Structure 1
Amino acid sequence: MSSHNASAPYYFVPGPSKWPLFAGMSLLTTMIGASAWVNDVSWGPIVNYIGLACIIAVLYFWFGDAIKESEAGQYGQRVDHSYRWSMGWFIFSEVMFFGAFFGALFYARSITMPWLGDLDHKFIWPDFAAHWGNVGPAGTVQEFTTMGPFPIPTINTALLLTSGLTLTISHHALRAGHRAQTAFWLFATVALGAIFMGFQAYEYHHAYTELNLKLTSGIYGSTFFMLTGFHGFHVTMGAIMLSVVLFRVLKGHFTPDHHFAFEGAAWYWHFVDVVWLGLYVVVYWL
């Protein structure tokens, strides 16, 4: 949201839109392609990529319409409140999403593993060692090395914490009306996010090629890659959101008092930071 207009309607209701229909068709195409892909159908990957490309196009034009409506002064205080509640509930749903994966990690690590290592199960799997990062009770998982906190995870922690600081500085600059400083610190935030993803890509390559740690490496490998992978995906999405906000800042959008698009993206980015801190402690240290 960029500005409030005294002539804005009581509550702006957009006219009929084709984008929900196109979004549904794109999602259906994506899932059909993905289903065919996992079943080794030759045309699956192509259909999946077409669906993903359509989703990106729909989002681009749909958000573009919302930006035009905002810049035209159609959004008043009530629409602003709606956006804030919507973003708050969206982030809450993301909290529940990551909570499920952290819960799975806790269950496997603190409940299932000691249970498999108790006296009763020693008769079934006498060689099983109840320590985190094992190869399973039957030894069906290939040997691998667990991932420690140094150096990449610790560097990435510093990068994300610094990005939260630069984003806060950018927000304060926007509220003070200093557009150039806003753009500079916002660009620094996006750059730090990109560096984070570069390090994570290197970490994954190191895990697969040198540690033999893969998604198929038992419960340790699956929880490690699901948690860090989905977090990396959220960092990527957050960086894209902040890049769009940066582009809008450079175009002269937003005012010191009304800039919800900036605030919504910042909320999301700080949420991603907090998730990483929990992940850094639970996955890499414990």
Structure 2
Amino acid sequence: MSSSQTGYFVPQPSKWPLVGAVALFFIGLGAAFAVNQHSLGYWSIAVGAAILLYMLFGWFGDVIGESEGGRYGANVDLSFRWGMGWFIFSEVMFFGAFFGALFYLRAVSVPELGDMIHKMLWPDFNPVWPTAVAPNGTEPYSAMGPIGLPLINTILLLTSGLTLTVAHWGLVNNNRGQLKLFLLLTVALGFTFLGLQAYEYHHGWTEMNLTLASGVYGATFYLMTGFHGLHVMIGAIMLTVVLLRSVKGHFKPDHHFAFEAAAWYWHFVDVVWLILFVFVYWL
């Protein structure tokens, strides 16, 4: 079927959602075991990750085969766009909840705990951000500043958004060399970001005493930057698949929604990081 078809392709029942559910079960079970220092924890996570990888290869392969077989017409393409749009909107709400919690803590909870009424309960509490950790006996920690690795990672992500746009121009203009080169640069920048963030976490945990137990600052820092890092990893995997498909000659100048979907997601990740950089690292 051509991309101009008026019908709607309905795929056969798939086993992959069930396989994914089994993978997530093992990962969740392993995480619970690992937190409780059970020896089976990491083994269960490894099994779950292997099953998840099997699911990704299988499911991606089926969808790519359907796409290259011409089964996705104009109506399917439109539904894909709506679906990806709503998915990104749900991600906006996801991070919106995190930012809402951060703003509430900084603008309402922390100042309120330092007012005259609460001074009677916690006389040593200092209502500043980052919060102190002295009440539970934890050693003082250092807050993560914006200069250094966070600034470098910001530059990397902004640059990756530019290289991805140049790759898209190459695809639209049927310049396959430009497409593949700048896609490769985008993927490399994404994984470099992840490597530097892992190093930042290690530095903060071991040298700055910044842990999940470092008051509400430590909890919100790792929660928000960690979930963003997870999204960067997902986006980098998506772009890697798009790169491999581009090398194999997939996508046409007028028919390349998989590329567009990955690009939308990556630009969303870029915007979220800019907001994170300002409100988590800078202010």
Alignment TM-score, normalising by the size of structure 1: 0.94
List structure 1 segments (4+ residues) > 4 angstroms apart after TM superposition.
6-9
Deviation of 1:232 (Å): 1.1
Query: C-alpha separation between the residues in 2 aligned to 1:159 and 1:7?
Result: 39
Query: C-alpha separation between the residues in 1 aligned to 2:234 and 2:13?
Result: 28
Q: Is it true that 1:285 corresponds to 2:270 in the alignment? A: no
Match among 226, 231, 236 for residue 234 of structure 1? 231
Query: C-alpha separation between the residues in 2 aligned to 1:250 and 1:243?
Result: 11
| Matched residue, 2:147 | 150
| Matched residue, 1:190 | 187
Query: C-alpha separation between the residues in 2 aligned to 1:239 and 1:6?
Result: 28
After superposition, the C-alpha distances for 1:217-250 in whole angstroms (9 at most, x for unaligned) are: 1100010111111111111111111011000000
Match among 26, 29, 34 for residue 32 of structure 1? 29
CA change 1:6–1:51 in 2 (3 A) is closer
- Paired residues in the alignment total 283
CA change 1:195–1:31 in 2 (3 A) is closer
Q: Structure 1: which amino acid aligns with 2:253?
A: P
* Matching of residues 24-103 of structure 1 within 5 Å: 24-103=21-100
After superposition, the C-alpha distances for 1:172-202 in whole angstroms (9 at most, x for unaligned) are: 1100000110000111111111221222122
Q: Is it true that 1:255 corresponds to 2:247 in the alignment? A: no
After superposition, the C-alpha distances for 1:20-53 in whole angstroms (9 at most, x for unaligned) are: 2322233333333333333444323322321221
| Matched residue, 2:243 | 246
| Matched residue, 1:124 | 121
Query: C-alpha separation between the residues in 2 aligned to 1:47 and 1:105?
Result: 33
Q: Is it true that 1:106 corresponds to 2:103 in the alignment? A: yes
Query: C-alpha separation between the residues in 1 aligned to 2:155 and 2:71?
Result: 41
Aligned partner of residue 185 in structure 2, secondary structure? helix
| Matched residue, 1:161 | 158
Query: C-alpha separation between the residues in 1 aligned to 2:54 and 2:224?
Result: 28
> Structure 1 regions of 5+ residues with no counterpart?
none
Q: Is it true that 1:180 corresponds to 2:177 in the alignment? A: yes
Match among 123, 138, 141 for residue 138 of structure 2? 141
Query: C-alpha separation between the residues in 2 aligned to 1:26 and 1:107?
Result: 35
CA change 1:38–1:212 in 2 (3 A) is closer
Deviation of 1:171 (Å): 0.4
Q: Is it true that 1:270 corresponds to 2:250 in the alignment? A: no
Q: Structure 1: which amino acid aligns with 2:138?
A: V
Task: State whether residues 163 and 185 of structure 2, in contact with CA within 8 Å, keep that contact through their aligned partners in structure 1.
Answer: yes
Deviation of 1:138 (Å): 2.4
168-177 or 189-198, larger mean C-alpha shift: 189-198
Aligned partner of residue 188 in structure 1, secondary structure? helix
Deviation of 1:136 (Å): 4.2
Q: Which has the higher contact order (CA 8 A, sep 6+)?
A: 1
Deviation of 1:18 (Å): 2.1
Query: C-alpha separation between the residues in 1 aligned to 2:90 and 2:204?
Result: 30
Query: C-alpha separation between the residues in 2 aligned to 1:35 and 1:152?
Result: 31
254-263 or 145-154, larger mean C-alpha shift: 145-154
Query: C-alpha separation between the residues in 2 aligned to 1:234 and 1:23?
Result: 18
Match among 205, 221, 231 for residue 208 of structure 1? 205
Query: C-alpha separation between the residues in 1 aligned to 2:136 and 2:15?
Result: 54
Query: C-alpha separation between the residues in 1 aligned to 2:19 and 2:195?
Result: 33
After superposition, the C-alpha distances for 1:104-145 in whole angstroms (9 at most, x for unaligned) are: 111111111001100111122222111001224725332001
> Structure 2 regions of 5+ residues with no counterpart?
none
Query: C-alpha separation between the residues in 2 aligned to 1:203 and 1:37?
Result: 23
Query: C-alpha separation between the residues in 2 aligned to 1:27 and 1:197?
Result: 22
